[in-house]
Structure formats: C-alpha cells, structure tokens
C-alpha cells in the first residue's frame, strides 16, 4: 500500500521571499575557523532589496528566538556577532544521535510484535508523541482544520490516561488519535526515507481503521465523524481511492444522522459548534472529490466495455 508519498507528506514549506530556495539556518554552511565555546563569529548577509543594493548596504537578519534570545553586537554597525553557544539549538533527548536509532528500533519491534499477534500497535511513548504533534500539527491540518491543537491535545492526554495499548471503550477517540499520529509521522518522514519508514505511519493508520466497524454500529457523534474524516485525510490523494471513498462516505452519512438528532444545546456550545462547522466543510469537500472519483471510474468502465 503506497501511502507514504502522498502530496500531503510534503507539507507547506516556507520559502525565502527573495529567493526560490528554502531558507534554512545551517550553522555548518558558515565559513568559520575553529572556535571555543566563548568565541564569536559574524553573521553577514547582503540584501536583495533594491534600495539596499543601491546604497551598497549590508543588512543583518534577526536570529529567531528558538536559536538565540540574547545576541551580542559589536560596535561595528555593518557586522553582527552572536555567541556560538547561543546559536546551538537544543534537540529533545530522543533525537540525539545515540538515542534515535534505539527508539526507532523499539517502535518497529512493537509494530512487528503487534502484527504477529494480530493486535493493535501501542501508541508512541507519550513524550515522543507530544513533541511530534507539537511540531507538525499546524502543517498536517493546513487546509483541513479538523480540530484546534488544544482540543486535540486534550483527546491525546485522555487517551494516554485511559490506555496506550487500546481504545478503552472510546473507539472514536482511539481512531482519531491514531489517524492524526499517522498523518504526523508521514509528514515528518525525511525526503528519501519514506519507503523505509512507511510501515510506521501505516501501523497507526491501521490502528484507526480497526475501529471502523465499531464506529458504524454505534450512535453517530461529532468525534466519530471527526475520526472518519481524519482517516480519510490519510488516504486522500493516494492510490487508495476506494478507502478514501469508503471513509469519506461514512463521515458524510454519520454527519447526516448526527444532524437529524443533534441535541438542542449543541449549537450554543461555541467549541462544539465550531468543530461541527469545520466537519461539515471538510465533509462537503470530500463529497465533491468522491463524486469526481466515481464519475471517473464510471467513465473508464464505459470506455472499456465499448
């Protein structure tokens, strides 16, 4: 199943407004001599702004607070110096060179064991899942803002509190937590490593789809609708068009049933009302995509039979 090279995997990458190449802070690109911890080096860039070029001026760029919050300037206005120690970003421990592979192999092992036993894959270690979702949630929800991050973290926290190995009787919550985790893992896969890491996001997607029959048989709820939509987002614009049609159609049908039985006080709840509106918008978008896919399939059948 080829789901790791979806267009959604690339995400939205920020571009330098003055250059088509991606703008990166790459300390290794700086031409510098060997320095000790207290040494400094200068950061110097030429502006592409027409006015600055006309004056032959050099400009300095703000160093993001995530890299250094206390830059030190020299008296020379054309040059800027920042302490090396302040420029080194701090990575979480699990991304350190001596830890990353250990965590990766542990996750792969848990997936293999779950597959062998035909069981659900346990959730990622909580601190890893939290960091992963903090750094990718905005991108994976861009254009499909199913939930606010604060609302999702509440669901995530509740799931870990209840169980990290199964739904704990809340099938919709388990499904959406795993579907969003799968989206985040796929988004964070480095270019070129998608095939090697593909089994990891797929395992969490399968955790979610294992709840489909439960969601269909229970009373529709806003959370079950969101779960179907999150699963559909994972297979949107992939070769798995049949899965996308099935998931999107179930979301649409559950939305119809839910709207016909919506509690009177539901619309007065600001958060729930906003989430419901977003679910309606995403479901409508998916319905249009499904219609196009079905029309295309029907046309192919007609051509092949004639």
Residue the block writes with tokens 């004056």: 55
| Confidence bin at 63 (pLDDT 50/70/90) | very low
60-65 average pLDDT score: 38
Residue the block writes with tokens 């060179």: 97
How many beta carbons lie within 10 A of that of residue 285, not counting itself? 15
pLDDT at position 19: 46
Least confident of 32-41, 96-105, 110-119, 212-221: 32-41
pLDDT at position 64: 39
Residue the block writes with tokens 């079905």: 294
What is this structure's pTM?
0.68
Structure tokens of 254?
A: 């559950």
Select the more confidently predicted residue: 306 or 103.
103
pLDDT at position 266: 78
On the question of pLDDT at 6 being above 70, the answer is no
> For the chain, what are the domain ranges?
31-87, 97-265+277-305
Contact 228, 220 (CB under 8 A): no
On the question of pLDDT at 87 being above 50, the answer is no
pLDDT at position 234: 97
Query: Which residues are 58's β-sheet partners?
Result: 46
* Gap between the Cα atoms of 111 and 275, Å rounded: 32
43-71 average pLDDT score: 38
Contact 175, 215 (CB under 8 A): yes
| Confidence bin at 103 (pLDDT 50/70/90) | confident
187-198 average pLDDT score: 76
Tens of pLDDT, residue by residue over 117-160, are 889 999 999 999 999 999 999 999 998 999 999 999 999 999 99
* Gap between the Cα atoms of 53 and 30, Å rounded: 22
Output 146-155 pairs: Cβ under 8 A, ≥24 positions apart.
Answer: 146/226, 146/229, 146/230, 146/233, 146/275, 146/278, 146/279, 146/282, 147/226, 147/275, 147/278, 151/271, 151/275, 152/176, 152/180
- Helix axis angle for 222-235 and 270-305, nearest 10°, is 40
State whether residue 268 is helix, strand or coil.
coil
pLDDT at position 138: 95
On the question of pLDDT at 44 being above 50, the answer is no
| Confidence bin at 262 (pLDDT 50/70/90) | confident
Q: Exposure pattern of 162-175 as b/e (b: 16+ CB <10 Å)? A: eeeebbeebbbbbb
Which of these, 193, 301, 289, lies nearest to 244 by C-alpha position?
A: 289
**Mean pLDDT for the chain overall:** 76
């Amino acid at each position: 199943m080829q789901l790791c090279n979806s267009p959604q995997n690339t995400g939205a990458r920020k571009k330098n407004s003055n250059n088509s190449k991606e703008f990166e802070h790459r300390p290794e690109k700086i031409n510098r001599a060997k320095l000790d911890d207290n040494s400094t080096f200068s950061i110097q860039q030429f502006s592409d702004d027409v006015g600055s070029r006309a004056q032959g001026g050099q400009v300095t760029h703000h160093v993001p607070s995530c890299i250094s919050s206390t830059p030190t300037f020299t008296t020379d206005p054309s040059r800027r110096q920042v302490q090396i120690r302040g420029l080194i970003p701090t990575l979480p421990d699990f991304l350190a060179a001596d830890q990353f592979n250990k965590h990766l192999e542990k996750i792969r092992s848990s997936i293999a064991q779950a597959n062998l036993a035909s069981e659900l894959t346990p959730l990622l270690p909580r601190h890893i899942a939290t960091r992963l979702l903090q750094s990718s949630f905005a991108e994976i929800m861009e254009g499909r803002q199913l939930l606010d991050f604060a609302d999702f973290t509440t669901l995530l926290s509740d799931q870990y509190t209840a169980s990290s190995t199964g739904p704990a009787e809340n099938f919709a919550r388990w499904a959406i937590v795993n579907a969003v985790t799968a989206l985040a893992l796929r988004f964070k896969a480095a270019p070129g490593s998608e095939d090697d890491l593909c089994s990891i996001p797929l395992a969490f997607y399968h955790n979610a789809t294992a709840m489909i029959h439960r969601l269909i048989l229970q009373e529709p709820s806003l959370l079950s609708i969101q779960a179907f939509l999150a699963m559909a987002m994972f297979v949107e614009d992939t070769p798995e068009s049949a899965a996308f049609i099935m998931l999107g159609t179930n979301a649409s049908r559950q939305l119809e049933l839910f709207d016909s039985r919506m509690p009177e006080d539901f619309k007065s709840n600001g958060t729930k009302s906003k989430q419901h509106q977003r679910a309606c918008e995403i479901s409508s978008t998916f319905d249009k995509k499904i219609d196009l896919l079905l029309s295309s399939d029907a046309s192919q059948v007609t051509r092949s039979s004639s």
